């Protein structure tokens, strides 16, 4: 637990070691070249070009490691942060391999390398791979703006990754590494092997792992007009994995009947204190989630879990927890509240819960019973509705700065958890910071990876 506890010495050490190991690996080609190779005979431009080429390959080869969901790597960071790092390092790697031939051409004083097609096959292969990489990078950056469907993007990403890795490997090996000392060749195969292993690990797990011993759907319950609660039961003879309230999973519902079999992330809305099963609570929001209600008891499910660091148990005790939830962003808060209730915690909690109408409020009865019950968290709930019925007597409007200031009061001694639609989260985060809540006391969960 200590390694997970944010801000603890072990947590910081765990993060630092992983970052250092990563930096060591991406700079290893330079070290090997410096130690064992012959670096003379290049002008500075060509030298930098080679450095970028070697480092660019190492960065790209390690990209699958960052996205492979290896728990021992991801644990101190959280998967969402790992995937953000994966995007940044990917952009850096692509930039390096794009600039690399430009510098080599400049160093040689000839643009032949860039424009001619009369080149050895491995240089032509490099050009094709580079074109693919540029398209790939542009699609990654512009996916939301171009409205590229997530599944299409993810499939292309999965299939193109090995193609790009092999293209970059073949080029660099044929063009440079085979003239290098044997240590460099070992390193090259090591880096390629690490990347391919990580890629296959995730691809095979997603296709096979969870399907060999699938979980079962125990029940499907509508909890509002567009929100469903799905109970998942582990395979016979197996127990529910250990998880923290607020964490999430990846699930592939294997439903047949022409329904999509896609893997999607959902918060585990149940509490670890409830043994024997877990629950997820999908809201109908897109093509896939709109089919949630067609899930049936007895359907199978492949589950990969748990992930994430959005849990009050990962932070030291505080005077008060302030949960700011919008719509289906209530699910991680629900898991944490259920855990507090079941473990008899008397933690003071203020829940600010924004929805459009009263009928959109998920878990209304359970929340009310927690707020009025005894022997659980000291829970105060403020519902804020943006389009209430005329009969509504509570808060009306949005969770803006003025309202947050009024409802939250003095932020001193409070720990803040925010999850909801992106515009709400942006306003809440900024307002809390402006109100004086320290950045390290504001925790956010984004429902996009
Ligand atoms: C950590 C986390 C926890 C979440 N918890 C919940 C929850 O408790 N309840 C809930 O209703 N929703 C939750 N979501 C959001 C849920 O995963 C998306 O709403 C759902 O995947 C959308 O799928 P769709 O095809 O219906 O919608 P679409 O309109 O096709 O997708 C909307 C957006 O969701 C994301 N998305 C779509 N498919 C995937 C996928 N297969 N993998 C990853 N992202 C995808 C993309 O950013 C996409 O732009 C969570 C998301 C994350 C990352």
One digit per residue, pLDDT tens: the chain, 449 residues?
666 777 778 888 999 999 999 999 999 988 887 776 666 667 888 888 988 999 999 999 999 999 999 988 999 999 999 999 999 999 999 999 999 999 999 988 888 888 888 888 888 888 888 888 888 888 888 888 888 888 888 888 888 888 999 999 999 888 888 878 888 899 999 999 999 999 999 988 888 877 888 999 999 999 999 999 999 999 999 999 999 999 999 999 999 889 999 999 999 999 999 989 999 999 999 999 999 999 999 999 999 999 999 999 999 889 999 999 999 999 999 999 999 999 999 999 999 999 999 999 999 999 999 999 777 789 999 999 999 999 999 999 999 999 999 999 999 999 999 999 999 999 999 999 999 999 999 999 999 88
Atom 48 of ligand 1, nearest CA residue? 150
> What is the residue with the minimal CA distance to atom 43 of ligand 1?
264
Tokens 């960052």 belong to which residue?
66
Q: Which atom of ligand 1 lies nearest, measured to the CA of 283? A: 11
Nearest in space to 60 (alpha carbons), one of 199, 165, 200: 165
445 CA to middle of ligand 1, Å? Answer: 12
215-307 belongs to which CATH class?
Answer: mainly beta
Closest ligand 1 atom, residue 289 Cα: 26
The span from the CA of 33 to the CA of 49, in Å, is 14
Handedness of CA 245, 247, 249, 255 (dihedral sign): positive
What angle in degrees, to the nearest 10, is found between the helix axes of 330-342 and 364-372?
Answer: 40
161 and 154 in contact (C-beta within 8 Å)?
A: no
Distance CA 187, CA 171 (A): 15
Question: DSSP letters along 81-133, please?
Answer: HHHHHHHHHHHHHHHHHHHHHHHHHHHHT-SHHHH-S-S-HHHHHHHHHHHHH
Supply 16's token pair: 């630092």
Cα-to-centroid distance, 288 and ligand 1 (Å): 9
For the chain, domain boundaries: 9-210, 215-307, 312-444
CA of 312 to the centre of ligand 1 (A): 23
Residue 397 to residue 407: CA distance in whole angstroms: 13
Relative to the CA of 285, which ligand 1 atom is closest? 26
Which of the listed residues 229, 246, 286 should we mutate to test ligand 1's pocket, taking the one with most ligand atoms within 8 A of CB?
286
Query: What does pTM read for this prediction?
Result: 0.92
Within 10 angstroms of residue 51's Cβ, the number of other Cβ atoms is 19
Give ligand 1 pocket residues (Cβ under 6 A).
Answer: 150, 248, 262-267, 281-283, 285-289, 308, 328, 331, 447-449
Pocket probe for ligand 1: among 285, 291, 445, the residue whose CB has the most ligand atoms within 8 Å is 285
- Ligand 1 center–CA 264 separation, angstroms: 6
pLDDT at residue 178 in the model: 80
Domain topology for 312-444: Rossmann fold (3.40.50)
Q: Which two tokens stand for residue 401?
A: 């700065």
Query: How far is residue 42's CA from residue 38's CA, in Å, rounded to a whole number?
Result: 10
* Nearest-CA residue for atom 15 of ligand 1: 447
Q: Which atom of ligand 1 is nearest to the CA of 262?
A: 41
């Amino acid at each position: 637990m200590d390694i997970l506890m944010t801000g603890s010495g072990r947590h910081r050490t765990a993060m630092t070691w992983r970052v250092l190991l990563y930096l060591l690996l991406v700079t290893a080609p330079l070290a090997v070249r410096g130690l064992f190779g012959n670096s003379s005979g290049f002008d500075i431009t060509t030298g930098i070009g080679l450095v970028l080429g070697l480092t660019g390959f190492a960065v790209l080869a390690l990209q699958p490691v960052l996205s492979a969901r290896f728990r021992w790597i991801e644990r101190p960071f959280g998967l969402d942060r790992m995937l953000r790092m994966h995007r940044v390092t990917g952009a850096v790697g692509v930039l390096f391999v794009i600039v690399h031939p430009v510098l080599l051409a400049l160093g040689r004083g000839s643009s032949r390398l860039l424009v001619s097609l009369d080149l050895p096959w491995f240089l032509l292969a490099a050009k094709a791979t580079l074109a693919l990489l540029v398209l790939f990078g542009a699609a990654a950056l512009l996916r939301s703006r171009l409205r590229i469907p997530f599944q299409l993007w993810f499939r292309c990403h999965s299939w193109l990754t090995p193609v790009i890795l092999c293209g970059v490997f073949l080029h660099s090996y044929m063009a440079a590494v085979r003239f290098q000392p044997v240590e460099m060749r070992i390193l090259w195969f090591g880096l390629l092997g690490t990347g391919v292993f990580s890629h296959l690990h995730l691809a095979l797990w997603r296709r096979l792992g969870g399907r060999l011993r699938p979980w079962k759907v125990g029940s499907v319950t509508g909890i509002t007009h567009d929100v469903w609660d799905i109970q998942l039961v582990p395979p016979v003879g197996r127990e529910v994995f250990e998880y923290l309230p607020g964490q999430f999973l990846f699930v592939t519902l294997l439903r047949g009947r022409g329904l999509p079999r896609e893997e999607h992330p959902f918060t585990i809305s149940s509490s670890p204190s409830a043994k024997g099963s877990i629950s997820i609570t999908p809201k109908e929001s897109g093509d896939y989630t709109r089919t949630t209600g067609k899930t049936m008891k007895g359907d199978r499910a492949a589950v990969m879990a748990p992930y994430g660091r959005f849990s009050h148990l990962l932070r030291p005790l505080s005077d008060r927890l302030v949960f700011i939830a919008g719509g289906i962003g209530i699910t991680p808060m629900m898991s944490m509240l259920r855990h507090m209730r079941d473990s008899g915690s008397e933690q003071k909690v203020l829940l600010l819960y924004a929805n459009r109408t009263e009928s959109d409020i998920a878990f209304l009865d359970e929340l009310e019973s927690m707020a009025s019950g005894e022997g659980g968290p000291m829970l105060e709930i403020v519902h804020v509705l943006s389009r209430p019925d005329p009969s509504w007597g509570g808060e009306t409007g949005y969770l803006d700065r003025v309202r947050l200031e009024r409802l939250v009061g003095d932020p001193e001694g409070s720990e803040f958890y925010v999850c909801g639609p992106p515009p709400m989260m942006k306003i809440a985060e900024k307002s809390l910071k402006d109100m004086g809540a320290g950045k390290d006391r504001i925790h956010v969960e984004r429902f996009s990876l």
